[in-house]
Amino acid sequence: MVQIFRRTFLRVALGLSAALFVTAGAVAQPARLLAICAAYEPEIQALHREFGVDAKKGFQPTTIHGLTFWRGRYAGHDVVIFRAGVSLVNAAYQLQLAFERFPITHVLFAGVAGGTDPALKIGDVVIPERWAYHSEALYLNENGQGGYVRPDFFKGTVENFGMIFPNDVGVMRDGDSEFNRVPSFPADPDLLEAARKAVPKLPAIRKGGRNVEVSVGGTGVAGTVFLDNAKYREWVFRVWQARCADMESTALAQVAYANRKPILIVRSLSDLAGGQHGANPIDENESRVAEIAARVLRGIVDEL
C-alpha cells in the first residue's frame, strides 16, 4: 500500500513539475508589445484617433520624466503609444527610455516628412526599407585650389554638398567590441512584408483632389535640419535616391538597431522639402497628412 502511494505521489509530482515547466516556458516567451509613436502634436493626435486611445477604452497613462505613455489594447494587440519628440536627440532619447521602461518588442512610427523624390506629391506615403543620415558630416575648409582640406581620418566617398561631406555614423551594440560605421539602418523585413500586404487592402485616401499613392521600399533620410532648399533636396535625392527627409526616423532606426528591435516607419509628405514654388506648405498640410500616415499605419497593424 505504501509503495502504491509512493508511485502515485511520484506520478502526480512529476506531472505537476512538467506542467509548471511548460507554464514557466510560456511565461518566458515575451508577449508582443507594439510601440506606436509619432514626433509632435498633429501626429500623436492622429494616432490617438486612429487607435482609439482613451481611458474609457482601457488605455492607461504612465508619465515618466514628463513624457506620457498610453498603454492598452488595439485589435488584439498590446500597444504603448507615445510622442517621441521632434529631432534626432529627442527621438533617440525617448525611444531608448521607452525600451528601458516597457517590454517593447516592435516599433512602429507614423508621421509627416518632406518629399525628396521628384516623382512624389504632397500626401503620398512612403514606407522606406532603410534609413540614412544626410547631415552626419564634416564641414571642411576650402583648400584654395577648388577643393577642400580633408583630414586624414576621413574615408568618406559620398558626394559632398559644398563644404558638407557626409559620413557614416558609428554604432555599437551587444557583441561588438568597438563602434562600427553603419551607412544605413534597415526596416524590419517582416514588418515590410506586412506593409506590402496591407497597402492593396487600404481604401482610397484623398488629398488635394487626388488619390494618394502608398509605396513600400527605397531609402529615407533624416537629420537635424528642416529641409526647405531645392538644391540640397536635389543632392539628397542624387546621393541616396532618398524618397523623403525628416528629423527623427534615422535616429529611431539606429536605436532600434542598437537594441535589436524590429522597426517600421511610415511617412506621408506634408511638403516637398524645398521643391515647391514659394513658401513651404507644411503648416496647411500637416494635420491632414498626419491623419493619412496614421491611417496607413493602422492598416499595417491590422495585418499583423
Mean pLDDT within 73-100:
97
Question: Each residue of 170-183: pLDDT tens digit?
Answer: 999 988 889 988 99
Q: What is the mean pLDDT of residues 90-95?
A: 97
Mean pLDDT of the chain: 91
Q: How far is CA 226 from its chain centroid? A: 18
pLDDT of residue 155: 87
Pairwise CA distance, residues 210 & 122, whole Å: 10
Mean pLDDT value across residues 7-31? 45
Pairwise CA distance, residues 31 & 251, whole Å: 25
Average pLDDT over residues 217-234: 97
Residue 102: half-sphere exposure toward Cβ, Cα within 13 Å: 29
Residues 276 and 271: their CA atoms lie apart, in Å, by 8
Instruction: State the pLDDT confidence band at 79, using cuts at 50, 70 and 90.
Output: very high
pLDDT number for residue 31: 86
* Structure confidence at residue 24 as a pLDDT band (50, 70, 90): very low
Average pLDDT over residues 46-74: 96
Residues 135-161: tens digit of each pLDDT: 999 999 999 999 999 999 998 889 999
Quote the percentage of the chain above a pLDDT of 70. Answer: 90
Query: pLDDT by residue (tens digit) across 273-298?
Result: 999 999 999 999 999 999 999 999 99
- Please give the pLDDT value at position 149: 97
Map out the domains of the chain with their CATH numbers.
110-303 (3.40.50.1580)
Q: The pTM is what?
A: 0.89
Using DSSP, state whether 186 is helix, strand or coil. Answer: strand
252 within 8 A of 118, measured Cβ to Cβ = no
pLDDT at 27 over 90: no
For residues 83 and 231, give the distance between their C-alpha atoms in angstroms, rounded to a whole number. Answer: 32
